[in-house]
Amino acid sequence: MRTTTGYFFMATKKYAKPALTISEQIEFLSSQGLEILDEQLAHNILSTVSYYRFSSYLLPFKQRHQENNSRRFKDNISLDQAWKLYQFDRELRLLVSDAIERIEIAFRAAITNTTSVRLHPFWYTEREHFKKHKVRTTHHGLTRKKDFFDDFFKTVQNICQSKQEVFLQHYYQNYSEPEFPPIWMMIEALSFGAVSKMFDNIQSIEIRNEIASVFGQHTTVIESWMRTLTYTRNLCAHHSRLWNRWFVIPPVIPKFDPLKNHIKPDPDGNFRFQLIAFIIIRLLEKLSIQDNWKKQLFGLFEKYEEFPSWQMGFNSNWPEDPIWEYL
> Minimal CA–CA distance to 198: which of 168, 251, 153?
153
**Domain assignment of residue 299, yes or no:** yes
Which percentage of the chain shows pLDDT scores above 90?
72
Q: Which domain holds residue 301?
A: 88-326
1 belongs to a structural domain: no
- Mean pLDDT for the stretch of residues 305-325: 82
**What is the C-alpha to C-alpha distance for residues 137 and 103, in angstroms, rounded to an integer?**
27
> Are residues 237 and 166 both part of a single domain?
yes
Percent of the chain at pLDDT > 70 equals 90
Does residue 274 belong to any structural domain of this protein?
yes
Residues near 131 by Cβ (< 8 Å), separated by ≥ 6? 148, 201, 202, 203
CA atoms within 13 A on the CB side of 299: 7
Residue 114 one-letter amino acid: T
Domain for residue 13, yes or no? no
77-109: pLDDT as tens digits: 999 999 999 999 999 999 999 999 999 999 999
User: Same domain for 172 and 277?
Assistant: yes
Rounded-to-integer distance, Cα 34 and Cα 50, Å: 17
Q: Minimum mean pLDDT among 59-63, 66-70, 319-323: which range?
A: 66-70
Residues 64 and 125 placed together within one structural domain of the fold: no
Q: How many domains does the chain have?
A: 2
Is residue 220 one of the residues assigned to a domain? yes
Helix (H, G, I), strand (E, B) or coil at 65: strand
Domain end (from 77, 96, 116): 77
Q: What angle (nearest 5°) sits at the alpha carbon of residue 110, between those of residues 108 and 115?
A: 100
Calpha distance 324→327 (Å, rounded): 5
Residues 146 and 255 both lie in one domain: yes
Confidence of residue 1 (pLDDT cuts 50, 70, 90): very low
Looking at residue 214, its pLDDT comes to: 97
Are 56 and 194 in a shared domain?
no
Do residue 181 and residue 54 come from a single domain?
Answer: no
**Whether residue 180 sits in one domain with residue 293:** yes
CA gap 147, 158 in Å, rounded: 18
- Residue 156 and residue 67 share a domain: no
Residue-wise pLDDT tens digits, 9-61: 566 788 888 999 999 999 999 999 999 999 999 999 999 999 999 999 999 99
- The Cα–Cα gap between 74 and 303 comes to 24
d(CA 85, CA 301): 11
pLDDT tens, position by position, 125-177 = 999 999 986 656 665 655 666 789 999 999 999 999 998 999 999 999 999 99
